[in-house]
Amino acid sequence: MDAPTLGVLRDTALLVWTALLFGVLAYQIMRAWLPESITSIGRVQASSYVSADAVLVVAISALLLGGLQSAASVTADAKPEVAELSLSGTLVSIVIQLGICVGLLIYLQVVRGYNPAELFGLRRMNPLWAIALALLFMIPTIIIVNGSALGLNTWMQGFWPDLQGQETAESFRASDDVLAKIMLAVAAAIVAPLVEEIIFRGFIYGVLKRYTDGIFAALCSSLLFAIVHLHVGTLFPLALLALIFCAVYEYTGCLLVPMIMHGLFNATSLIVMVFFPQIQP
C-alpha cells in the first residue's frame, strides 16, 4: 500500500471514529432532552443491545482496522507489488474470518442470551422469496455501484499515483493456481458475505442504531466496511454498496437478503475478472 492511500484511509477512519464519539454523545443528550426527536425507521430492532455490546463493537472495529497499522510499515517510496495468491493463505484468511464470526455468534447466544437467527431476522422470510428479492435489488445495485466506481476512477486518473485494483483482485488476476482461485472464489462469494453481513450489518449497524439512529448508524458502519477493504479507489463505491445493504436490511428486516446480494455482487465481480480481464470491476 502506498503512502497516499494509507493517509486517506487513516484520515477517513479517524473521521468516522470522531463522528461516532460525538454522535453517540449527541444522540444520548437528545434522547434525554428531546426524546420525540429520535424516531426509529425500518424493521431492524436494536433496542435489546446494551453497553457491553457497544464495547464489543469498538473491539471488533479496532481488530478489523488493524490492517491499517500493519500497512504503515510500507514506505512512501516502496513500489507496490502484487501479492502471490496461495491456497494456504486463502484458507488461513477464511479460518480467521469464520473464527471472528463464530466468536461473535457465541457471545450473542451464550453471553447475551440472544438467538442470532431471530436477532437478525433470518427466519422472517422464506429463503426462496429472499433470493427473489435479492435478484431484483441487485439489478439497480450493480448499475449504481459500478457506475460510481467508473466515474470515480475516471476522475482520479489525473492526480492519484496508483489506480490498481484491490490487492485481492490483482492477486486473482495474476495467479495461475487454479485451486487457489477456486478457494478465493468460495471465500468471496460465500464466506465473506456471510461473515461481513453478520458483523457489519447485523451487529455493528444494529448496535450503532441502538445508540444513534438508522441513518447515522448506516453511514458510519458503511464507511467502516469500506475502510477495512484497504483501497481508496473503491472506498466510496463500497460505502455506497454497504448503504444499499443497510437499506435492504431495514426494508426487509431479514439479513439473509443482503447476504445473498453480497454474494451475488462478489460473484459477479469474479466472473467479470475471469471472462473480461481487461475490465477492472
Please spell the DSSP secondary structure of 122-181, one letter per residue: TTSS-HHHHHHHHHHHHHHHHHHHHHHHHHHHHHHTTT-S-----HHHHHHHH---HHHH
User: Does 182 map to a domain?
Assistant: yes
- Of 29-43, 110-124, 244-258, least confident by mean pLDDT is 29-43
* pLDDT above 80 for 74: no
User: Does 57 map to a domain?
Assistant: yes
The span from the CA of 94 to the CA of 224, in Å, is: 20
Give the per-residue pLDDT at 76: 46
User: Does 104 map to a domain?
Assistant: yes
pLDDT confidence band for 277 (50 / 70 / 90): low
Q: What is the pTM of this model?
A: 0.92
* pLDDT above 80 for 158: no
More confident site: 162 or 124 = 124
The span from the CA of 48 to the CA of 210, in Å, is: 8
* pLDDT above 80 for 275: no
User: Does 81 map to a domain?
Assistant: no
More confident site: 71 or 258 = 258
Measured from the Cβ of residue 160, the count of other Cβ atoms closer than 10 Å reads: 16
Tell me how many degrees the CA angle 159-165-169 measures, rounded to the nearest 5. Answer: 175
Q: How many CA atoms lie within 13 A of 5 on its CB side?
A: 30
C-alpha cell at 24: 453517540
| Closest listed residue to residue 25, CA positions, set 216, 205, 204 | 216
User: Does 20 map to a domain?
Assistant: yes
* Domain limits for position 226: 3-74+86-275
The span from the CA of 246 to the CA of 14, in Å, is: 22
The span from the CA of 254 to the CA of 232, in Å, is: 30
Give the per-residue pLDDT at 52: 94
User: Does 280 map to a domain?
Assistant: no
Three-state secondary-structure class, residue 50: coil
Q: What is the pLDDT of residues 262-273, one digit of tens each?
A: 999 999 999 988
User: Does 147 map to a domain?
Assistant: yes
* Tally of domains in the chain: 1
pLDDT confidence band for 163 (50 / 70 / 90): low
Cell 443497510 belongs to which residue? 246
The amino acid at residue 83 is A
User: Does 79 map to a domain?
Assistant: no
* pLDDT above 60 for 80: no
Q: What is the pLDDT of residues 21-73, one digit of tens each?
A: 999 999 989 888 887 766 677 899 888 899 999 999 999 888 877 767 666 55
Average pLDDT over residues 226-247: 93
Mean pLDDT taken over the chain: 87
The amino acid at residue 256 is L
Q: Dihedrals φ, ψ of 199, to 5°? A: -75, -55
